[in-house]
Structure 1
Amino acid sequence: MKTAEIARRYLDYFEKKGHTIVPSASLVSDDPALLFTVAGMVPFIPYLSGDVPAPYKRAADNQKCIRTNDIEEVGKTPRHGTFFQMLGNWSFGDYFKKDAIRYAWELLTTPDEDGGLGFDPKDLWVTVYEEDDEAIQLWLEHSTLPEERIQRLGKDTNYWTTGLPGPAGPCSEIFFDRGPAYGIDGGPATDDDRYVEIWNLVFMQYEITNVRSKYEFDIIGDLPAQNIDTGMGLERVAFIKQGVDNMYETDQVRPVLDKAVELSGKRYGENHEDDVRFRVVADHIRSSLMLLSDGVTPANDGRGYILRRLMRRAIRSMRLLGVDGPTFAELFAVSRDAMKESYPVVETDYARLAQYALAEEATFLRTLASGSEILDTSIESAKSTQSTALSGSQAFLLHDTYGFPIDLTLEIAEEAGLTVDRAGFDTLMKEQRDRAKADARSRKGQLADTSIYRDFRALGETVFTGYTDLETESRILGILVDGAPADRASQGQIAEVIVAETALYAESGGQVADKGVIVGPGYELEVLDVQKPVPGLISHTVEVTTGEVAVGHVATTVVDAANRRAAAQAHSATHLVHAALRDTLGKSATQAGSLNRAGYLRFDFSWGQALSPETRSEIEEIANNAVRDDLEVTTRVMSLDEAKAAGAMALFGEKYGDTVRMVDIGGPWSRELCAGTHVSSSAQVGLINLVGESSVGASNRRVEALVGQDAFRELAAERAIVSQLTSGLKIPRDQLPARIAELQANLKAAEKKIAQFEAKALGERVPALAAAAVSAGAYRVVAQSVGTVGSADDLRSLALQIRERLGSDAGVVALGGAAGGRPVVIVATNDAARAAGAKAGLLAKTAAGVLGGGGGGRDDVAQGGGTDASALPTALTSIVSALEGATA
């Protein structure tokens, strides 16, 4: 039974049981405590906790999930994958334990031919929370399980929490027995791989606080309603139903594994280490494809770092399988074909996804090449000092700074006959992880407990009137002071205020929050921020500037009209720039992020190379032509499907409900889903001035623009500068570029002549400096400071000339000087000195340590530097001392 068919049967079954079928939420989680949707229940947390009223009593879904906390186990066990799909059925205050158990058993054991999943009851086991007698009794009543196949387990396995204050409850897990060939008898309590968990039924009924660990917390009472949260692992059911040994061999994953086998020329099933690598490739390619399809792009932090890590682990695994060249073009195409039946977007948007993947692969292959050079230098250095190992710090530097995998460091070092201080590397890695965990705990600890908004949200959605009104009269529904409910707030206090209706725009969709005030009888509040802490609720952070405000007071929200107008200009300009980019670059130049505030816009888009000045000018001209043409701006509210059918762009990274707002500028020329505020016609934008274009990743570019009055001021300032230049140089404006180029050429020529004079003057000092050679052990040494030089290259040239003057004796030249205001030391050795053991790189490093910097290089010539120019005499003396000590 194919994976897509299992999902279809599951959803069909629960739809017949009165469940609303809900599409999968994005892999990018709305929860600020999470980078990704790590479990099927994440999108439903507001409903399960009661913070937001559920729009349905029963629901079922197939949720995409990403989880990387067990990434090192991928490929080693039959069930660990970074991307997985969780089938779930949900009840929000409707049915509870009995029906959850009854539904699960019926679907699992109904024969294939009757639309079920066809599991033999004799292969199924169940675990329950050890104190949940009710669940045991229900299993006995609604299944054919004998009591000995129902096992009681403790909180560590059969009590569900998020790990944070909020909803919790006992759970019951269903396991499939793979048979004696896979392990020992005894049921799931043995914790053996023979028993595969396929479904978890969570009976969510309590609210907990003071969470100290997975099984240490305080139950503070019942949830507002008893809920059911279940999750059936689609990949786990698929590998059982398809008769294969693990999830990597199922129909949605195995094709990638087979392609990796073909590219490597090796066989699957012959070598355990190679098999693990094949599985890692298959899993990580699919996970990367799905993350890209939900708008995540490779980056050095956050979600983008996780994606980058997955891709680089796949490249590393292919390299360890003997493939050094690019493979993503073939691997991603195979994964696309395997996943498109379940997720058509991976085919329709494949050009964009492949662009990111191929660019990331090319970048990392270059990283591997440069990392190999650095590693080769480290190996050569270790051998020159008769060391048999590379330090843990060297391996960590390669991993952390250059992205060079430790596995490759170990492999290459072993080929060179060296070991790596793996313990030292692991210690540094642990320290880095501990810092990251501490930072994550810190950020998590700073997150507001959204349950404080539950009672306010229960009163209904906040009505936003700001599309048509800049003032709206309402009533104060709630006040929060220091994160706790309060009945009033007084002058000077900072508080959060909830009202029933508001004209103030809450930050979203790249548009910053409105500025404004909230006023009422005897009080005035300055609005500092406007946010949506939970879906459907708008909260205003305010400072009480006059009087005292209390719950129940009449309140009028007043928008700063000038700021709103400028923000609307910027947001509409963003749409115009997006359309102009697509006109100029093509449809693959899609939005990857934006920021709009009064007078300014920042727009990120998918593109792999810098824009030429001509292209920038063309984009700017197209956008401003749209302003000149005074295009009508219209908005319509419709279903998401209707908007997509009309050609509206659903931007990656954005979340959309069933009903959306579509913004047209000039009809279909610019048609996007957008909840922001806009001008009524494009001429009201005024002016768009592109002021910057830069890279924000391997496949992302960013343009920045000033809008309206801010754009005019910038152009006026540039005009003033041009006027000053033309006046000072006494030339017409159209001759200014040529005149500046002429001045630059003259300046370069003068600098070249000065450098020649300086080099000649330095060269004239060669005889005197060579004559100043002194004995230091077995060496003749010139160790002199020559003062200020034009560059380190000048100092290097002088050192090499002096070295030639030292003849056949073991000669070492160490010259110090100041170049660009910083101290520099050049060390040069001749053949006789090197034969006697003198190494220029080590000597330069010695001097650099005195100067407060670093240095090194080849044995014949090397350079060091630092920050303390006053220490140059001491640095040169240290070289002489080192040579005397080496002789001794």
Structure 2
Amino acid sequence: METAEIARRFLAFFENNGHTVVPSASLVAEDPTLLLVNAGMVPFKPYFLGQRTPPFDRATSAQKCVRTKDIEEVGKTARHASFFQMLGNFSFGDYFKEQAIPLAWRLLTSSVADGGFGFDPERLWVTVYLDDDEAEAIWRDTVGVPPERIQRRGMEDNFWSMGVPGPCGPCSEIYFDRGPAYGAEGGPIADENRYLEVWNLVFMQYERGPGESKTDFEILGDLPKKNIDTGMGLERMAAILQGVENIYETDTLGRILRRAAELTGTVYGDDDRADVSLRVVADHMRTATMLVSDGVRPGNEKRGYVLRRILRRSVRNLRLLSGDDKLYLHDLTDTAIEAMGEMYAELRTGADAIHSVIDAEERNFADTLRSGTALFNRAAEKTRATGGTTVSGADAFQLHDTYGFPIDLTLEMAAEQGLRVDEDTFRSLMAEQRETAKRDAKAKKLGNADISVYARLLDGSGATDFLGYTDHESEARVLGLIVDGASATAASAGQSVELVLDRTPFYAEGGGQLADKGTVTAEGRGVVDVDDVQRPLPGLFVHRGTVREGRITVDDRVHAAIDTDRRAAVSRSHSATHLIHSALRNALGPTAGQAGSENQPGRLRFDFTASKPLSTAELTEVEDEVNTVLLDDIQVRDFQTSIDEALAMGALAMFGEKYGDRVRVVEMSDYSRELCGGTHVGATGQLGVVKLLGESSVGSGVRRVEAAVGIDAFRRLSRESLLVGQLSEQLKTPREDLPERIDSIVGRLRAAEKEIERLRSAQVLEAAAGLAAAATTRGAALFVGHRAPDGTTADDLRRLATDVRQRLGEDRPAVVAVAAVPKDRPVVVIAVNKAGQRQGLKAGDLVGTAARALGGGGGGKPDLAQGGGSDPAAVETALGAVEQQVAQTA
């Protein structure tokens, strides 16, 4: 039975039993305490916590999940995976154990022909919580499971909570006996490899208090309503029903794994190390594909770092498998899209954009590998220079943390050079980083209460009626006030306040468009200056501002009015964003998908997927096309329709965005048609002019254009025209000849700077003969200490030091110490000949002495080292300290 069919059967069964089928939420969690959705119940968490009222009593879902806590274990076992899908059924105060348990049993044991999974009842075992007599009785007396196949387990195994104060309750788990070949008899408590968990039924019936661990907390009492939360791992169920050994041999992951083996010329099952790498690649490529599809982009923090890390682990393991540096991710992304496309159609429709992001990250990591290799080589050189054989754990951690190098790569590179790595220190630093992350995560969990104030307002008063598409002002009633994060009945002059109105013309920030500003006035009572509007929950508009005068209270009748000039300017920018998007797609192709935007008054920025920078010609083409559309004065129309109809007519959806069944389409004839909830002009001619200000990179595979719109664009063009005129007059050159004239001037300046640098360098080196001749004897060594003229570069100091050292020869030990202040910060270079090194004089040691005197640090090889500091006045002192150390050592 294919994975997609397993999910279809599960959802159909519960839909036929009165449950609402809820589509999988995006992997990008709405919960601010989570980076990514990591469990099937996460989208329902506000309902279980009582923060929001569920729109249904029963629900069922197949939820996408990502967990990266054990990412280092992925591939090492056949059980760990970073992406998985959780099938679940949920009850919000509707039914409880007496229905949840029989429903689960019926679905598992009904025949395939009857829509079930066809499990043999004799091979199923169950566990219940230690004192859950009720659940045991239902399994035994209602379902008919023999008492000997019902086992009781403790809190560690069969009691669930979120880890923070809130709902909790006992669990009951269902296990499948895979047979004697997989382990010992005796049920789940004897061997969980043989007895494989397939379903966990959570009975939320208590409220827990604070505690430090999974088992250390107090039960405060019963919940007002008893809830059901179940979870069945789709991949594990697929492995059982498809008769394969593990999840990596199922129809989805197995397809990606086999393709990775084909591309790299390996065979799964022939070599344990290769098998680990193949499992890593299969898991990570599926995870990366799903993350990119939900709008995540590679980066150095949060979700972006998760994606970057798994992509880089994929590249590294592919190189270990193939022994070459070919680019394989495009092909494997295709395979992942096909493997998962039946369940998630958006993967196929968004394939071009997914490829664009992943391909760019793979190319960028190829460059990173080169940079990281250079860093490792420096660390290895430093290790050998000090006579060591072990690369420091700190260097290994920097490679891991900065360049994304897996520790196995660092170990391999060290072994190739006959070195070891201080793994203990590395793992200590990693553990410290994880503990910091855990503490941060634990602190963030306490943020569950943050939205409860808004949730109570939404539940008590209902959604805000938004009038802003047609009205710029309206009468309204104050439904709620929030001051300092808590509900309030009134707010007085000078206080920051959040207002919830029953109706509003204010646009709340969203879709890249900044919020409206304006005023809320209670006649004769008070005025609030609104400077931001947000929607912390769907349908709830929260107006944030300051009470300018008087007093505002709940139930006040008020007049809400937006700043119309600002709204018009923002709307022009938003309409310009749509036009630029279309022009970019026309110039670059459909892969130029939207990756973010911000529409300000008179100015915008638009992020889009692209593998390389735009040329000047492409930018000019885009700008010309947009302004031509403005001249055509195309009417801007918006209308509501179904999501399917909108996509069928070619409307563009923002990549990774979430939409409901009914959507708003904004179209500009056939030139631009997008799903959008923002405000726009009535016709393109109202934009006046659009001027592109530049193009840049904002991340792997993502570029950004910025533009000025309307009067702001005109003013910018006017300023630039004035500047060009001034340059033309100053240089006595016609405007059209300015580029060539300026190039000529810049070329001459650069040539002059090079000549000045050459002369200065020559002047410094001219002193070499005199310095060598004036060398003094310190102990058994010759010593030269010299302060070069300020402004002398570090490169020139190195050349001077090595030149003087060469002139001193090898007959006697010799040390050369030269210093200068090139840019307000002193630099010192020390050179030691071979005879001096045999005498025990090391440049690295000597430069450390000088650098400490300068208030800084330094290092290098025994023959040449460089240091610096922050105290220019200490140069002579530093040279003197080196001279004294030479005298004592030689």
Category of TM-score, reference length = shorter chain: over 0.9
Paired with 2:163 and 2:701, the residues of 1 have a C-alpha distance of 36
Would the aligned equivalents of 1:367 and 1:404 in 2 still touch at CA under 8 Å? no
The residue aligned with 1:594 is 597
What is the identity, as a one-letter code, of the residue corresponding to 1:449?
A: D
Structure 1 residues 288 and 144: alpha-carbon distance in aligned structure 2, compared to 1, 3 A threshold: same
Q: Which runs of 5+ in 1 are unaligned?
A: none
Structure 1 residues 618 and 836: alpha-carbon distance in aligned structure 2, compared to 1, 3 A threshold: farther
Would the aligned equivalents of 1:49 and 1:451 in 2 still touch at CA under 8 Å? no
| Residue 275 (1) aligns with residue 297 (2) | no
Paired with 2:663 and 2:421, the residues of 1 have a C-alpha distance of 57
Structure 1 residues 262 and 877: alpha-carbon distance in aligned structure 2, compared to 1, 3 A threshold: farther
Paired with 1:556 and 1:197, the residues of 2 have a C-alpha distance of 60
Q: 1:465: Cα distance to partner?
A: 0.9
The one of 527, 534, 542 aligned to 1:539:
542
In the TM superposition, 1:230-379 aligns within 5 A as 230-321=230-321, 323-326=323-326, 327-379=328-380
Would the aligned equivalents of 1:101 and 1:142 in 2 still touch at CA under 8 Å? no
SS at 1:429 equivalent: helix
Q: 1:448: Cα distance to partner?
A: 4.8
The residue aligned with 1:747 is 749
Paired with 1:41 and 1:179, the residues of 2 have a C-alpha distance of 31
In the TM superposition, 1:693-772 aligns within 5 A as 693-772=695-774
Structure 1 residues 451 and 222: alpha-carbon distance in aligned structure 2, compared to 1, 3 A threshold: farther
Identity of aligned residues (%): 52
The residue aligned with 2:432 is 431
The residue aligned with 1:409 is 410
Paired with 2:868 and 2:353, the residues of 1 have a C-alpha distance of 46
Q: 1:759: Cα distance to partner?
A: 3.5
Give the structure-2-normalised TM-score.
Answer: 0.93
Would the aligned equivalents of 1:647 and 1:668 in 2 still touch at CA under 8 Å? no
Structure 1 residues 441 and 626: alpha-carbon distance in aligned structure 2, compared to 1, 3 A threshold: farther
After the TM superposition, which of the residue ranges 554-563 and 715-724 deviates more from structure 2? 715-724
Paired with 2:206 and 2:452, the residues of 1 have a C-alpha distance of 14
| Residue 565 (1) aligns with residue 572 (2) | no
The residue aligned with 1:549 is 552
In the TM superposition, 1:3-22 aligns within 5 A as 3-22=3-22
The residue aligned with 1:642 is 645
The residue aligned with 1:615 is 618
Paired with 1:168 and 1:672, the residues of 2 have a C-alpha distance of 44
What is the identity, as a one-letter code, of the residue corresponding to 1:373?
A: A
The one of 623, 630, 634 aligned to 2:633:
630
The residue aligned with 1:824 is 827
The residue aligned with 2:397 is 396
Structure 1 residues 359 and 648: alpha-carbon distance in aligned structure 2, compared to 1, 3 A threshold: same
Q: 1:787: Cα distance to partner?
A: 1.7
What is the identity, as a one-letter code, of the residue corresponding to 1:351?
A: D
Paired with 1:138 and 1:173, the residues of 2 have a C-alpha distance of 13
Structure 1 residues 490 and 498: alpha-carbon distance in aligned structure 2, compared to 1, 3 A threshold: same
Deviations 1:668-718 (A, max 9, x none): 321111111111111222332222321112211111222223323333333
Would the aligned equivalents of 1:51 and 1:534 in 2 still touch at CA under 8 Å? no
Deviations 1:755-810 (A, max 9, x none): 34434433442332222212234432222111224533333333343334323434
Structure 1 residues 124 and 585: alpha-carbon distance in aligned structure 2, compared to 1, 3 A threshold: same
Q: 1:749: Cα distance to partner?
A: 3.6
Would the aligned equivalents of 2:340 and 2:347 in 1 still touch at CA under 8 Å? yes
Q: 1:305: Cα distance to partner?
A: 0.5
Paired with 1:13 and 1:872, the residues of 2 have a C-alpha distance of 82
The one of 677, 680, 683 aligned to 2:679:
677
What is the identity, as a one-letter code, of the residue corresponding to 1:6?
A: I
Q: 1:225: Cα distance to partner?
A: 4.7
Would the aligned equivalents of 1:176 and 1:198 in 2 still touch at CA under 8 Å? yes
Q: 1:90: Cα distance to partner?
A: 2.7
Would the aligned equivalents of 2:309 and 2:404 in 1 still touch at CA under 8 Å? no
What is the identity, as a one-letter code, of the residue corresponding to 2:511?
A: G
Structure 1 residues 281 and 133: alpha-carbon distance in aligned structure 2, compared to 1, 3 A threshold: same
Paired with 2:577 and 2:142, the residues of 1 have a C-alpha distance of 58
The residue aligned with 1:44 is 44
What is the identity, as a one-letter code, of the residue corresponding to 1:393?
A: A
Structure 1 residues 842 and 580: alpha-carbon distance in aligned structure 2, compared to 1, 3 A threshold: farther
Paired with 1:506 and 1:221, the residues of 2 have a C-alpha distance of 40
Structure 1 residues 501 and 357: alpha-carbon distance in aligned structure 2, compared to 1, 3 A threshold: same
What is the identity, as a one-letter code, of the residue corresponding to 1:145?
A: V
In the TM superposition, 1:479-490 aligns within 5 A as 479-490=481-492
After the TM superposition, which of the residue ranges 262-271 and 703-712 deviates more from structure 2? 262-271
What is the identity, as a one-letter code, of the residue corresponding to 1:799?
A: A
Would the aligned equivalents of 1:52 and 1:534 in 2 still touch at CA under 8 Å? no
SS at 1:525 equivalent: strand
What is the identity, as a one-letter code, of the residue corresponding to 1:453?
A: Y
SS at 1:675 equivalent: coil
Q: Which runs of 5+ in 2 are unaligned?
A: none
What is the identity, as a one-letter code, of the residue corresponding to 1:555?
A: V
Would the aligned equivalents of 2:178 and 2:196 in 1 still touch at CA under 8 Å? yes
Q: 1:840: Cα distance to partner?
A: 4.5
Paired with 1:377 and 1:269, the residues of 2 have a C-alpha distance of 38
After the TM superposition, which of the residue ranges 782-791 and 98-107 deviates more from structure 2? 782-791
| Residue 797 (1) aligns with residue 807 (2) | no
What is the identity, as a one-letter code, of the residue corresponding to 1:684?
A: Q
The one of 458, 468, 480 aligned to 2:470:
468
Would the aligned equivalents of 2:47 and 2:53 in 1 still touch at CA under 8 Å? yes
SS at 2:519 equivalent: strand
SS at 2:788 equivalent: strand
Would the aligned equivalents of 2:173 and 2:197 in 1 still touch at CA under 8 Å? yes
Q: CA RMSD in A?
A: 2.7
Would the aligned equivalents of 2:109 and 2:118 in 1 still touch at CA under 8 Å? yes
Would the aligned equivalents of 1:263 and 1:323 in 2 still touch at CA under 8 Å? no
Structure 1 residues 131 and 108: alpha-carbon distance in aligned structure 2, compared to 1, 3 A threshold: same
What is the identity, as a one-letter code, of the residue corresponding to 2:358?
A: A
SS at 2:638 equivalent: strand
| Residue 864 (1) aligns with residue 867 (2) | yes
Deviations 1:7-29 (A, max 9, x none): 12212222322333332221111
What is the identity, as a one-letter code, of the residue corresponding to 2:776?
A: V
What is the identity, as a one-letter code, of the residue corresponding to 1:121?
A: P
The residue aligned with 1:383 is 384
Deviations 1:19-44 (A, max 9, x none): 33332221111221111111112222
Would the aligned equivalents of 2:41 and 2:229 in 1 still touch at CA under 8 Å? yes
Paired with 2:571 and 2:876, the residues of 1 have a C-alpha distance of 64
Structure 1 residues 420 and 758: alpha-carbon distance in aligned structure 2, compared to 1, 3 A threshold: closer
Structure 1 residues 644 and 824: alpha-carbon distance in aligned structure 2, compared to 1, 3 A threshold: same
After the TM superposition, which of the residue ranges 858-867 and 175-184 deviates more from structure 2? 858-867
Paired with 1:621 and 1:96, the residues of 2 have a C-alpha distance of 64
Paired with 2:184 and 2:380, the residues of 1 have a C-alpha distance of 48
After the TM superposition, which of the residue ranges 191-200 and 120-129 deviates more from structure 2? 191-200
Q: 1:308: Cα distance to partner?
A: 0.9
In the TM superposition, 1:187-198 aligns within 5 A as 187-190=187-190, 192-198=192-198
The residue aligned with 1:108 is 108
Structure 1 residues 556 and 406: alpha-carbon distance in aligned structure 2, compared to 1, 3 A threshold: same
Paired with 1:204 and 1:247, the residues of 2 have a C-alpha distance of 30
